[in-house]
Amino acid sequence: MKPAGSAAPAEPRGELRVVGTSVGREIELLLERLSGHVGRRTPRVLQVGSRTLVSDRNEPNWRNLIAQRFGPRARFVGLDLLEGANVDIVGDICGSPRTLAAKLGEDAFDLVICCHVLEHTRHPARAASNIERFLRPGGLAYVATPWSQAFHAAPDDYWRFSVRGLMLMFGKLKIVSSFYSGGDVGLDVAYRVVRDGQPDLDPRAGAVEQGLFQLVLDHEDNRDILARQATERLPVSRTYLPTLFVNIVGTLKA
């Protein structure tokens, strides 16, 4: 018999695991979540930074993915700073809520996609706030940003983010998935850090991530790598800092 007033023992926590996945698989899971959220209703989807560029040939075509999954009645809006292919509305996600509402309408979105955009914004926290503002309660946001990537000005390049940095900016979201992905052309490799099947967002998990993401080479190995470069590069070449993206999926708290 338990002594009166004694607390129940804490449930044991599962083992911290690194799970291999792919961006393609994570997108499928995202669309399944969206389908569960909207039910029989057709979703309203916003893509921030939607303009299609030649350099985006390996990026998902979100408009087609949504149409294939939900049919032609799905309402898809492409927002970008500049006119171009796949752009429905020209506007700045960092703009005032009133200005954006005038362009996007008052109807909330079931999904907001913001991939490889925040690093190019002057005010990423303002962009995050607007994304949350235009989400329907229970709606989903998918955000992908670089943790490490070569400088790429489009039109400029300002920031790099960690998962916990994104969590600070998107404080109104409950994070339901997070994963890391690479940036090599034609290579769709990603992985998640989970415990009990859920993303482990405790800062203590950072010690595991730190060990995963560091490439530590001794002096001789460094010299060998530089000697094998096809062209002459500085010692701060991308060999030392592979491209790595952080991805989160969050749902707006009711």
Q: How far apart are the C-alpha atoms of 190 and 187, rounded to whole Å? A: 9
What's the pLDDT at 65?
A: 96
What's the pLDDT at 101?
A: 96
Assign domain 16-230+239-252 to its CATH architecture.
3-Layer(aba) Sandwich (3.40)
Beta bridge partners of 77: 46
Give the strand pairing for 198-199 and 109-115.
unpaired
Q: Provide DSSP, 180-244.
A: EEE--TT---EEEEEETTEE---GGGHHHHHHHH-----HHHHHHHHHT-SS---TTSGGGS--E
What's the pLDDT at 10?
A: 57
Domain limits, the chain: 16-230+239-252
pTM value surpassing 0.75 = yes
CB atoms within 10 A of CB 233: 12
Q: What is the pLDDT along the chain (254 residues), one digit of tens a residue?
A: 445 555 555 556 778 788 889 999 999 999 999 999 999 999 999 999 999 975 666 789 999 999 999 998 899 999 999 999 999 999 999 999 999 999 999 899 999 999 999 999 999 999 999 999 999 999 999 999 998 888 888 889 999 999 999 999 999 999 999 999 886 656 688 888 888 888 888 877 776 666 666 554 455 655 665 566 555 554 544 444 578 899 999 999 87
Length in residues, the chain: 254
The answer to whether 26 and 102 are in contact (CB under 8 A) is no
